Structure 1
């Protein structure tokens, strides 16, 4: 009886231990013959609820994308690239400052091949998955196919319906709609509302006809701008724009474009289209009928281009960074905001009496928009600077520039600065005083960012805290024993380097353990990943806490082991894992196997505290964004080490 109970206890313990090794993506493979010598290789991923699998087209510098490596091709030729059965979901990740794509549920990848007689295909795929709290390390799955011409087995695979990127598209639509509302308040568009509506009400024989014509005018505006978004998508490709989002030259071009738009709005010059274009469209509009009304809307788009062009350009630039159909969705939102007032005022012309009169305030709207575009231009410049690692616009420089820009905007709103085309102002309107005060309060909020404050309200715009002249913050000294290399990073004896928020870290386990013994401190092992978004959240929200940071600096030696490093191990250091049975090819594979074999875990972030004999002092710590909880765990580790 005791033996049975003992065996049962071991089985329960094994189940509990193995439950900590997660594998949220289950792969299956099949093939389908589509002609005498062509096949479709089918690789199906079933993803657990709450988890997502990263897409195949992530930009550089982010998580590990799903990739397919066809290593051995015997009498087989690949046709085209791997295609997914549905569109990936897209979202902006504040940790990586980029748009990330991923799949949920089930997704089927297919690769067409051409076989000459009997053929074989083998290789492996690499993937990474995350949920809201943790990520798996890059994992690989081997596959093989045997293709035998017309005798090959045909296996059908159902194709899930497309999920789309609805969440991201709705946000783009909303932002573009706000941009259209701002364009309505510019001097090129606002005066056109009463003029155009009056034309429809006078030319239409009945009220119903006037309403119908006004609605068609609004619909025509939407059609024109949506066509513009469609052209942009067609020319650049639905996916290629997203891959360019971290391209330094693409971001540099966007920045220069926004500078031109900003200076135009501020009155340095006007961006106008050739008058011959406007005249040609005007002649078409004179023909009357629905076609004439359409060309009237086209004429509005051309005449108002000096005001709407910079806003449209900025919206397309931002939408283009999202890729997919985002430019089309953006133009739909922008044009809807422009079109709705024309249709409504045509239906209810009496509302025109409630509109404010045109005046100098319209030019002020343009100038304010110019300041905003000027500020956003530096966001694109900073991305190009970070990708090229030029360190011209580091975090401090970025904050200094934005503080200067918004001080200028506040002074403009208070009437202390006048720009070309501004009307004389005898008194300061209450609205400008209030708005100027809000802008100046925003300036005061940003100032601590120069000294290393997180400034979470604009998180995602400035460069990260470790891309700064002073990673620890202006005026703060480096950790004891730290030797700088003349720049923002530094090295210490035994391989310490500057980590997030200026915290000194090791990346070599043996060196870290030796240094922990030398200094008489416990060793904190940080299982992390370059592409682990939840790891970045812990660093941004927990490591930055002053109590946690002080304990890192004073009580612990820390080693960060990156499970997704792609650096190949020397041939004589590669091995087959005794735990998983998989080949350990890279440095990341090595640390993944270390985590699994020692601690029965394969997700990140995961923190372990050990003593000098490598004994685990307390239970490991997974994702929890509460700094107080993490600080208490660190204190428990110190107390256990001292016992």
Structure 2
């Protein structure tokens, strides 16, 4: 069972992706009246680059052919023959062994409809098929066309009167929309985030070096290259090439996530707030931590290592590449848990998760590769390396405690999004206190694990590190109080927000501020009080949102502006477990013709953000007045000074109007 966990992780991401609503295809629809009882329904599909939509004439036993049908329950009209298609292309498929027929870039489908009941108010057709690139996904779209006997609406905006009314509520009549293009986009924050996760990966790689699976390999491998080569220069070159291949191998591990992300750029951000994925990460990280404690080993199939080792006997570049791949496989029991944490951290961070994962993997591989190149260049340094021993297992156990602490962050995400009220802020901090006290006791020799060597005396480093960990546990204790002496700002984003507490709070808004959770209610309050609106697109599982609230909003000058001069409207875009009232649920027909079911508050506010502000990241802040005039360029994750100046400028513009 341990062998399959790493593969199950990737499978889970693919499975959740398959449930998303977005397709790499944009639809437009129109209808032409041919006679009193006949119409041509015209469906135009624009495909993303390199994607194929398969024709209704695609051979049986190959990719799914296009199919146009009348939805079940719809009567009064019928399809006339097969649809007429625009130009298609043909290509032999090695997979199916058949010549496939498909559309590339663009498809125009014209289907004739015959009306049998002239009293029907509209007609609806559904289309089924498959689009493929490196991966394939199923499509299922429905298009509705009103019939009024005289005028045919060619562009369909809504399905029915109910959804038309509610959809208009989502679409704001914004003014000064040119400011939306000049705001602080996520580019700067994303660049900083990429660098941060590169550093995180690099640190992870350094920690992996200090484990029993990797550390003993350094002198053996370097000696092999430097002593077994025909010349010293050749040995150094081979060792450096070996390091380059290590970096390349870990970079390649992130490629599948770019393929997923290419289907829909926001998919990995979307699934990062999924309750069950976060629970899975919690379980897998606990599983990893127990392996670091020494209760069992997580390994890839031994046959993999044997095959790669045999392949490494081939000379030249290919042999060196397979030597690097062998290292990656045989060291998996130590590197796998760290890589799993890196994947989880990438999905939970603002920005493009696929690129962040690549940055983290590159940092990880670079840290692993550096010693092999460094010691090849300066072989005399090998003698300075500490001897292998019990300290390597100690490093693994310390990593196990850190993995366990990190695991509860993902359980907390599920608790917040699901509104379970189980892991309140003080409970979360209490669990961390227990974990880090346990780590301190381990370092002081009071706790033993299966693979620990007999501890004759405590080293200076072990005592010092134990004292540091014990001090950190003490630092956490005030976080469990009702009125803490300090707010743990150094950990902002990890524990649940301060208002998610076991103690009774003045409000369920950040920092005890007054806020509205509905846009129209907040807008009405802004009009009555004659104050500008701070529209806060946030999320329960948004780490950078918590950092902004606890590090920037808490600044006295910023807090005063928020409390006295603005109406705060906080809209949680990941609130997908809290259903809208039945009467407020509806089907939203997007511009591309596909349907999005608006059932939860998260559905509503995430759609609201995208259609009005053309942005899907959080935190995202907009200043506007009750007449929907945008007062300043939108702002995202930033520092105290920038945010304060931004609020002051918005207030100044509000007073001018």
TM-score tier by shorter-chain length is: 0.5 to 0.7
**8 Å contact 2:174–2:630 — kept in the other structure?**
no
| Pairing 1:559-570 to 2, within 5 Å after superposition | none
Which residue number in structure 1 is paired with residue 271 of structure 2? 244
Do residues 459 (structure 1) and 478 (structure 2) align? no
Which residue number in structure 2 is paired with residue 267 of structure 1? 294
Which residue number in structure 1 is paired with residue 43 of structure 2? 77
* Deviation at residue 292 of structure 1 after TM alignment: 2.2
* Deviation at residue 259 of structure 1 after TM alignment: 1.0
Which residue number in structure 2 is paired with residue 379 of structure 1? 409
Which residue number in structure 2 is paired with residue 30 of structure 1? none
C-alpha distance in 1 between matches for 2:341 and 2:545: 32
CA deviations 1:444-484 (Å, max 9, x no partner) are: 22222112553110101011112222253xxxxx6xxxxxx
Which residue number in structure 2 is paired with residue 410 of structure 1? 440
**8 Å contact 2:493–2:545 — kept in the other structure?**
no
Residue number among 176, 185, 191 corresponding to 2:216 in the alignment: 191
Which residue number in structure 1 is paired with residue 509 of structure 2? 499
Residue number among 169, 180, 185 corresponding to 2:205 in the alignment: 180
| Pairing 1:253-332 to 2, within 5 Å after superposition | 253-321=280-348, 322-332=352-362
**C-alpha distance 121-311 of structure 1, shift in aligned 2 (>3 A):** same
CA deviations 1:183-230 (Å, max 9, x no partner) are: 111111111111111112221121112112212221222222222222
Which residue number in structure 1 is paired with residue 249 of structure 2? 224
CA deviations 1:33-63 (Å, max 9, x no partner) are: xxxxxxxxxxxxxxxxxxxxxxxxxx9xxxx
Aligned to 2:253, what secondary structure does the other structure show? helix
* Deviation at residue 325 of structure 1 after TM alignment: 2.9
* Deviation at residue 315 of structure 1 after TM alignment: 1.4
C-alpha distance in 2 between matches for 1:196 and 1:298: 13
Aligned to 1:327, what secondary structure does the other structure show? helix
Q: Quick one: higher RCO (CA 8 Å, sep 6+), 1 or 2?
A: 2
Which residue number in structure 2 is paired with residue 527 of structure 1? 533
**C-alpha distance 551-422 of structure 1, shift in aligned 2 (>3 A):** same
Which 10-residue stretch deviates more, 524-533 or 541-550? 541-550
**8 Å contact 2:281–2:410 — kept in the other structure?**
yes
Which residue number in structure 2 is paired with residue 212 of structure 1? 237
* Deviation at residue 260 of structure 1 after TM alignment: 1.1
C-alpha distance in 2 between matches for 1:140 and 1:557: 21
Do residues 397 (structure 1) and 427 (structure 2) align? yes
**8 Å contact 2:412–2:423 — kept in the other structure?**
yes
Aligned to 1:324, what secondary structure does the other structure show? helix
Aligned to 2:254, what secondary structure does the other structure show? helix
**8 Å contact 1:535–1:604 — kept in the other structure?**
no
**8 Å contact 2:173–2:628 — kept in the other structure?**
no
C-alpha distance in 2 between matches for 1:173 and 1:550: 36
- The alignment yields a C-alpha RMSD, in angstroms, of 5.3
Which residue number in structure 2 is paired with residue 449 of structure 1? 479
**8 Å contact 1:183–1:311 — kept in the other structure?**
yes
**C-alpha distance 559-354 of structure 1, shift in aligned 2 (>3 A):** closer
C-alpha distance in 1 between matches for 2:395 and 2:241: 28
CA deviations 1:14-49 (Å, max 9, x no partner) are: xxxxxxxxxxxxxxxxxxxxxxxxxxxxxxxxxxxx
| Pairing 1:513-524 to 2, within 5 Å after superposition | none
Which residue number in structure 2 is paired with residue 23 of structure 1? none
**C-alpha distance 624-208 of structure 1, shift in aligned 2 (>3 A):** closer
Do residues 350 (structure 1) and 395 (structure 2) align? no
Which residue number in structure 1 is paired with residue 398 of structure 2? 368
Residue number among 371, 374, 378 corresponding to 1:341 in the alignment: 371
* Deviation at residue 392 of structure 1 after TM alignment: 1.2
| Pairing 1:426-437 to 2, within 5 Å after superposition | 426-437=456-467
C-alpha distance in 1 between matches for 2:425 and 2:504: 9
C-alpha distance in 1 between matches for 2:381 and 2:571: 64
C-alpha distance in 2 between matches for 1:543 and 1:170: 25
C-alpha distance in 1 between matches for 2:157 and 2:409: 41
**8 Å contact 1:528–1:535 — kept in the other structure?**
no
**8 Å contact 2:439–2:469 — kept in the other structure?**
yes
**8 Å contact 1:499–1:505 — kept in the other structure?**
yes
Which 10-residue stretch deviates more, 214-223 or 236-245? 236-245
Task: Kindly tell me the number of residue pairs found equivalent between the two proteins.
Answer: 452
TM-score of the superposed pair, with normalisation by structure 1? 0.58
* Deviation at residue 364 of structure 1 after TM alignment: 0.9
**C-alpha distance 294-511 of structure 1, shift in aligned 2 (>3 A):** closer
| Pairing 1:574-585 to 2, within 5 Å after superposition | none
C-alpha distance in 1 between matches for 2:361 and 2:369: 12
* Deviation at residue 140 of structure 1 after TM alignment: 5.2
Aligned to 1:415, what secondary structure does the other structure show? coil
Which residue number in structure 2 is paired with residue 87 of structure 1? none
**C-alpha distance 602-215 of structure 1, shift in aligned 2 (>3 A):** closer
Which residue number in structure 1 is paired with residue 470 of structure 2? 440
Aligned to 2:449, what secondary structure does the other structure show? coil
Aligned to 2:420, what secondary structure does the other structure show? coil
C-alpha distance in 2 between matches for 1:290 and 1:552: 61
* Deviation at residue 509 of structure 1 after TM alignment: 12
C-alpha distance in 2 between matches for 1:200 and 1:353: 16
List gaps (5 residues or longer) in structure 2.
Answer: 1-15, 17-21, 32-40, 50-104, 112-151, 159-170, 178-186, 585-603, 614-622, 636-640, 649-657
* Deviation at residue 255 of structure 1 after TM alignment: 1.4
C-alpha distance in 1 between matches for 2:548 and 2:253: 42
**8 Å contact 1:527–1:562 — kept in the other structure?**
no
| Pairing 1:109-148 to 2, within 5 Å after superposition | 114=108, 121=155
Which residue number in structure 1 is paired with residue 418 of structure 2? 388
